[in-house]
Structure 1
Amino acid sequence: MATSTENAIIGEVEIPSSVKVAKDGSFISVKGKIGTVKKDFLKLPATVTVEGSRITIKPYGTRKRDLAVTNTAKSILESMIKGVEKGFTYKVKIVFAHFPISVKVKGKEIYIENFFGERAPRVARIQGDATKVEIQTEDVLIKGPSLEDVSQTAANIELSTRIKDKDQRVFLDGLYIYAREEGM
């Protein structure tokens, strides 16, 4: 949690020795053994500085909202550091009752074919350059150093098989997120 002393809010994040953090304008890039994660902090109402082995976040104000902004930025930076050290993995289960669903990766898109016997495949986008999608028998594994890209890719897959005009309690076919893990 960010510290608050004499109406000044300051958030600090420790940088491990195996990680390199660089600031270029409003962009902060974190580089580790798994890869590099870049994030734009332009719209953040705070000053972010990188000094030695720590990142300091100082919001412009001293209200409760500013403390929330500081803690959010701190959480984002911590997940960036965790991502380049260990990585993130989301597991998506392929569920079908009658028509066997086949999932294929082509470039930056995932094609879900034969969903409810539909002729046209449903398409989900893969977010980020470092995000890898691996298809096993009944699972789709999404791995990468960026938590935002990995989770958004998993959400895109889940949303592409959403059923709109039928009772979702009866028609359970689709791809569903069932596990979120650290590590690749």
Structure 2
Amino acid sequence: MSTEAVKQVFYSEEIPIPKDVSVKLENKTLKVKGPKGECEKDFSKMKVNIEVHEDKIIVSSVKKRKDYYAVARAVVKHIKNLIEGVQKNYVYKLKIVYSHFPIQVKVEKDRVRIDNFIGERFPRFAKIVGSNTKVSVEGDDIIVEGPCKEAVGQTAGNIENATRIKNKDPRVFLDGVYIYERS
């Protein structure tokens, strides 16, 4: 008889792996590669078991409490977002809005430079999160795209927050960069 204790599984869910996606698990860090790029997520702080088989990923919880169930469901959704992102990129579109001073936006190495915002002499900067996130400027639109949903969303949020006007009435001073489409 084995001395190893058998853990009872209270919640388990299988996630199918598509044919054009490869998944690798190392020390609770899940790396997902697909036709649109690659993305990785660290689940080391999550209290769930993750197993990768040939055609499926199994996420299971070992305690029968609501918070463990909720964490397991959140991990399942994160993994589904990773798989969906490497198959089709996530895209955020932002609109540059100004009334008098024309805002100029340039993409540098790992940040976005915003010049002449409400006539300011010094530029504002927004960090680009993630190595696979691409930012492009087309006229009055900024397009942020990439395989990692969190990185794309955080980059779009950084750009929007960089143009926030403080200590002024937001109903009057409408200049800025605003997210108008997510897909």
TM range (shorter): over 0.9
The alpha-carbon deviation at position 71 of structure 1 amounts to: 1.0
Q: Structure 2 vs 1, CA of residues 48 and 7 (structure 1 numbering), >3 Å: closer, same or farther?
A: closer
The alpha-carbon deviation at position 25 of structure 1 amounts to: 1.2
CA distance in 2, matches of 1:164, 1:59: 45
CA distance in 2, matches of 1:9, 1:177: 37
- The answer to whether structure 1 residue 67 and structure 2 residue 69 are counterparts is yes
CA distance in 1, matches of 2:147, 2:27: 22
Aligned counterpart, 2:146: 144
Secondary structure of the residue that 1:98 maps to in structure 2? coil
> Percent of aligned pairs with the same residue?
43
The alpha-carbon deviation at position 95 of structure 1 amounts to: 0.4
Segment drifting more, 157-166 vs 57-66: 57-66
Gaps of 5+ in 1: 1-5
Q: Structure 2 vs 1, CA of residues 106 and 7 (structure 1 numbering), >3 Å: closer, same or farther?
A: closer
- The answer to whether structure 1 residue 161 and structure 2 residue 179 are counterparts is no
Aligned CA RMSD, in angstroms, stands at 1.2
Aligned counterpart, 1:35: 37
Gaps of 5+ in 2: 1-7
CA distance in 2, matches of 1:87, 1:37: 11
Secondary structure of the residue that 1:171 maps to in structure 2? coil
- TM-score scaled by structure 2? 0.93
Contact between 2:9 and 2:63, CA under 8 Å: does it hold in 1?
no
Aligned counterpart, 2:111: 109
The alpha-carbon deviation at position 7 of structure 1 amounts to: 7.5
CA distance in 1, matches of 2:68, 2:14: 14
What are the Cα deviations for residues 70-110 of structure 1, in whole angstroms up to 9, with x where unaligned? 11101100010000001110001000011100000111010
Q: Count residues with an aligned counterpart.
A: 176
Aligned counterpart, 1:3: none
The alpha-carbon deviation at position 67 of structure 1 amounts to: 1.5
The runs of at least 4 consecutive aligned structure 1 residues that moved more than 6 Å come to none
